[in-house]
Structure 1
Amino acid sequence: MPEHIGIIAGGGQFPRLVAQGAREAGLSVVACGFHGHTDPALAGHVDVFRLLHLGQLNKLLAYFHDQGVRRLCLAGTINKPRALDFRPDWRAARVVFSLRTKGDDSLLRAVLGELEKEGFEMLSAADLVPSLRCPPGTLTRREPDPEAWADIRYAWPVAAGMGRFDIGQCLVVRQGMVIAVECLEGTDATLKRGAELGGKGCVALKIAKPGQDERVDLPSVGLTTIRNLVEGGYAALAVQAGKTLFFDREASLTLADKHKLAIVALPDDFA
């Protein structure tokens, strides 16, 4: 009998890719998703699947215990505005109300801690799909021009400082000015707002928060991200090499090259 791995699945394609990677590694996949967040079609890519409402922590724990799962990973996105409507059971409520701040990182670390208390070993979902990790260097044909490089150097420590307060991972700058900061709305809305406020020629960064646990919420970009950058007339995108997941990379880079958008993946100690 193959060894089990459990996936706590949010939205997007990441849970499906993780399930595929796990199965290719000979693992049996047990997944749990959330109504309004997880694509129900994930059921066709795993061995056992169940949907719960966000906040039903006791039911989630019981489900994985009943399936004999001992190793778990988190994969996929949670729509933040919808997440405000969740109705926690007593256990989830205890986790939430014990936190001084309710940022993504604080909340996810608390959830990890609760899962580990139950005896689950928490893994990084990215390790099951290592090809998604962004390689270092200039990924597009076009390099950032000197003005874009200046904005990237300015914005990198600003984004890191923002991350220390558990605010967000995406930052938009232009000519040495902060134009937009990711908050509750998410990356795509931040990019659209940045383009509206800053006009053509903005630079976007998306990097991990300092000390971020790689088992949860690694930064990610993909085709929708690149479309928003192109539509907004952005000059460049900078991400963190090795810590950013790049979905649909080939199609994304083709689109970026077509519209002369520069994309670079930089080391942790850049700037």
Structure 2
Amino acid sequence: MTEPASPVIGLIAGGGQFPLLFAEAAKKRGFRVAAVAHTSETDPRLEDFADELIWVKLGQLGKIIRHFHEHRVSEAAFAGTITKTRIFRDIMPDWKALALWNKIDIRLDDSILRAIAGALADEGIEIIASTRFLEHLLFPEGLLTKKKPNAGQWEDIRFGWRLARSVGRLDIGQTVVVRERSVLAVEAIEGTDAAIRRGGQLAGSGAVVVKLRKPGQDFRFDLPATGLGTIATMAEVHAAVLAVEAGQSLLFDQAAMVVAANKAGIVVVGLRCEDDELPAQCAGCI
């Protein structure tokens, strides 16, 4: 008797380790992985995890659709980062992507990704949450490091929380950098690390970094993520605190990240709050 074919899941991969982790987890669950890797972004090691893989340039939407149809993909996930500033210099849209691009009035992160997801859905390919196999990577609640925020840092966390929520509501970015209730940097297209460097350099030392999901964040797209690289960037500019919304972002290499944060004297804390205002009693929760 012929063995039933393994189900196939699609992966649209950007940079970083997330696509590798997604592919590995999917295979452990019995899926075959049909992956699309982006030139100059995706880690070549993805070839070791995917069953079927093609390389595309940014904007080759038609090629992605053909690859998924060829391998009978009905569900796919976005995983990994794309350097957003490349859309001004490296994008090479095919006719499918160009037609879609011209239909998008507001070219913000979620607007673009929702439009792509809609185009894929029209082709019978549903975009699923990138955390489907990786819920254990969601940022935990509580204090992760030895040091706790002091009273002044708690004030900055609350101040930054309110601002980050407002910035997220406008679909501009997910991170703000503050010190002594002054705004030093707001993340936009440059990404989190660049925003931390800019804000940290202005602070001199002691900056507080607050990273939240956008209100109504779609778990299929562009989840906030932190890891060793975040701590390295913060240490570079002598930033003091990283406060992240728990359960709403990804955390990579948690054990190594905590070791690095403790070594650098950086506070790392995960907090839960659905509102714009972080309650004052949060300081007593950890």
1:71 has 2:86 as partner: no
Give how far 1:34 is off.
Answer: 1.1
Task: Give the partner amino acid of 2:52.
Answer: V
SS of structure 1 residue aligned to 2:132? helix
Provide the TM-score with structure 2 as the length reference: 0.92
How far apart are the structure 2 equivalents of 1:234 and 1:34?
Answer: 33
Gaps of 5+ in 1: none
Residue 234 of structure 1 is matched in structure 2 by: 239
- 1:148 aligned residue (134, 145, 153): 153
> How many residues align structurally?
271
Give how far 1:207 is off.
Answer: 1.0
Percent identity (aligned) = 43
The 5 A counterparts of 1:230-269 are: 230-269=235-274
- 1:36 aligned residue (37, 40, 62): 40
How far apart are the structure 1 equivalents of 2:99 and 2:203?
Answer: 42
- 1:6 aligned residue (3, 10, 19): 10
Task: Give the partner amino acid of 1:100.
Answer: D
Give how far 1:108 is off.
Answer: 0.9
Task: Give the partner amino acid of 2:133.
Answer: L
Residue 17 of structure 1 is matched in structure 2 by: 21
Contact 2:167 2:173 in 1 (8 A): yes
Provide the TM-score with structure 1 as the length reference: 0.97
- 1:139 aligned residue (131, 141, 144): 144
Residue 283 of structure 2 is matched in structure 1 by: none
Q: Which runs of 4+ in 1 moved over 4 A?
A: none
SS of structure 1 residue aligned to 2:131? helix
Residue 184 of structure 1 is matched in structure 2 by: 189
Residue 282 of structure 2 is matched in structure 1 by: none
- 2:104 aligned residue (99, 106, 114): 99
237-246 or 86-95, which deviates more: 86-95
Alpha-carbon RMSD across the aligned residues, in angstroms, is 1.1
Contact 2:205 2:240 in 1 (8 A): yes
Gaps of 5+ in 2: 279-286
Give how far 1:71 is off.
Answer: 0.9
Residues 211-231 of structure 1, C-alpha deviations (whole Å, 9 max, x = no match): 111111110001010111112
How far apart are the structure 2 equivalents of 1:164 and 1:70?
Answer: 31
SS of structure 2 residue aligned to 1:128? coil
